[in-house]
């Protein structure tokens, strides 16, 4: 393939653009609860996201990448014309990147998974044939998009109700907050560590026994809880603060917890959603390096994960503020205790999905979790106009990705196929 180098350069450029879109849209909504509840400033959120998104993408991003790559399209149909798969993957990256740019401009938290899957299905159905699309796999993924917000919403509802019962609706909410919040922090550290150890580190060559993983996760959870306890002990009761808002002192304790869940959410998001940008790059690189062999499975090169991780961070830093405002402030009013319930529920759902290789939508998961917290306070606490707009943008995302991918596929095919 004389054009091999050109294809790899284009794949890296379009993949970086797609990763930028993930940062501007998806990471922004992952950080929205922390910023909206005022547990973090926007600058702190960017730093937290930069460190933990990158860590999640690099350490635990390998598992889902394979699902996006080999599950959508029957690669065997392209054995004789591998360049068509290259054009399709390039077109999918560019299409999804452009749709994410449009959505971020309007502040719509859309699904990057929807965008890239819609794009890949669109190019495959038109460019190769309807039989090339693995419709069973598409059906499973579509089901996960329904299941993930419902599951996250239910977990968030349960978590927030436990906060109300154990802390808010008691005679001494501040004392009980200091007593129970370290337990919530332990739970967060344990869940994230366990799923990462069990599923995420295979491509780094770390093979640990199940018992070792549980023990290590237990230690990580206890360690994070112990460090947080130091900060929680320093928080003193300020009667003046409670004059305007009865639970101001309680929320100070939950702000410490939000710091931990923000890190967890960023890590979980990086581990799951980097696949959307790096999967198609891996496909192109694999075809070029093998001299045109279309394989069902290809190793994920470390430099590709790094490229995706850097793109995500740049996207958040340069254009993430609009979606942060939508998720953090516009759906329902968030405080640190409400933000914690939403973020931990979403993070738990995402890491479990990442570990099982199911490409769920982080956006749907997080918005579902925020809705769950809002529902715990009654339907009046939700801004239905904003929710309607978000749902409409979700519906449009799949066909938009598919249409743009088909357009770019034929443009690329016209440019390169005769060369």
- Per-residue pLDDT for the chain (419 aa), expressed as one digit of tens each? 577 889 999 999 999 999 999 888 887 777 777 887 787 888 888 888 888 888 887 776 665 555 555 567 776 777 777 888 889 889 999 999 999 999 999 888 888 888 888 898 898 888 888 887 888 877 877 777 778 888 888 888 898 899 889 988 888 888 898 899 899 889 888 877 876 776 555 555 667 787 888 899 899 999 999 998 888 888 888 777 666 656 777 888 888 888 887 887 788 777 777 777 887 888 888 888 877 776 656 566 778 888 888 888 888 888 887 888 777 777 777 788 888 888 888 878 877 776 666 667 777 888 888 888 888 776 767 778 888 888 888 888 888 999 999 999 999 999 887 65
- Structure-token pair, residue 76: 């065997």
Residues 6+ apart with CB under 8 A from 278: 15, 19, 61, 65, 300, 304, 305, 307, 308
Secondary structure of residue 133 in the 3-state scheme:
strand
Report residue 296: phi and psi, to 5°. -75, -20
- Structure-token pair, residue 9: 């350069």
Angle at 208 between CA 202 and CA 214, to 5 degrees: 110
Domain with 110, as residue range(s), is 4-416
Summarize the chain as % helix, strand, coil (round to 5). Answer: 80, 0, 15
Query: For position 377, what pLDDT does the model report?
Result: 72
Task: Please tell me the total count of domains within the chain.
Answer: 1
Q: Chain centroid to CA 254: how far?
A: 23
Torsion of CA 246, 249, 250, 252, to 10 degrees: 130
Query: For position 403, what pLDDT does the model report?
Result: 95
Query: For position 419, what pLDDT does the model report?
Result: 55
Provide the whole-model pTM: 0.81
Q: Does the CA dihedral 179-184-185-187 come out positive or negative?
A: positive
The Cα 181–Cα 336 span in angstroms is 12
- Cβ contact 275:15 at 8 Å: no
Cα distances (Å, whole numbers) of residue 63 to 25, 67, 79: 22, 7, 25
The Cα 409–Cα 319 span in angstroms is 27
The Cα 391–Cα 331 span in angstroms is 12
Nearest Cα residue to 345 out of 184, 226, 231: 184
């Amino acid at each position: 393939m004389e054009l091999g180098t050109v294809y790899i350069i284009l794949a890296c450029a379009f993949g970086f653009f797609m990763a930028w879109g993930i940062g501007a849209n998806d990471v922004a909504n992952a950080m929205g609860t922390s910023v909206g509840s005022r547990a973090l400033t926007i600058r702190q959120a960017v730093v937290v996201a930069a460190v933990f998104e990158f860590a999640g993408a690099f350490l635990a991003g390998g598992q889902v990448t394979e699902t996006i790559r080999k599950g959508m399209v029957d690669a065997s149909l392209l054995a004789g014309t591998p360049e068509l798969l290259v054009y399709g993957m390039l077109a999918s990256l560019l299409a999804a990147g452009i749709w994410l740019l449009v959505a971020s401009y309007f502040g719509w938290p859309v699904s990057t998974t929807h965008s890239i899957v819609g794009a890949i299905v669109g190019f495959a159905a038109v460019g190769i044939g309807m039989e090339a699309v693995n419709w069973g796999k598409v059906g499973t993924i579509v089901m996960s998009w329904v299941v993930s917000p419902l599951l996250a919403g239910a977990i968030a509802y349960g978590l927030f109700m436990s906060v109300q019962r154990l802390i808010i609706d008691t005679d001494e909410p501040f004392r009980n907050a200091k007593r129970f919040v370290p337990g919530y922090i332990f739970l967060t550290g344990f869940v994230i560590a366990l799923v990462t150890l069990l599923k995420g580190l295979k491509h780094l060559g770390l093979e640990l026994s199940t018992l070792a993983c549980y023990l290590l996760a237990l230690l990580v959870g206890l360690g994070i809880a112990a460090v947080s306890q130091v900060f929680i002990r320093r928080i003193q009761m300020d009667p003046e603060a409670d004059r305007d808002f009865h639970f101001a002192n309680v929320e100070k304790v939950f702000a410490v917890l939000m710091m931990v869940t923000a890190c967890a959410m960023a890590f979980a998001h990086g581990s799951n959603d980097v696949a959307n940008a790096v999967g198609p790059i891996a496909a192109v690189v694999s075809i070029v390096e093998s001299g045109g062999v279309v394989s069902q499975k290809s190793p994920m090169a470390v430099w590709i994960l790094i490229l995706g991780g850097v793109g995500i961070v740049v996207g958040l830093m340069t254009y993430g503020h609009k979606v942060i405002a939508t998720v953090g402030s516009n759906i329902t009013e968030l405080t640190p205790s409400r933000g914690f319930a939403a973020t931990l529920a979403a993070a738990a759902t995402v890491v479990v999905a990442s570990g099982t290789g199911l490409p769920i939508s982080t956006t749907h998961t997080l918005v579902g979790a925020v809705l769950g917290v809002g529902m715990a306070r009654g339907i009046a606490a939700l801004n239905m106009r904003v929710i309607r707009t978000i749902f409409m943008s979700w519906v449009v995302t799949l066909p938009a990705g598919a249409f743009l991918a088909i357009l770019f596929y034929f443009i690329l095919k016209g440019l390169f196929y005769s060369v």
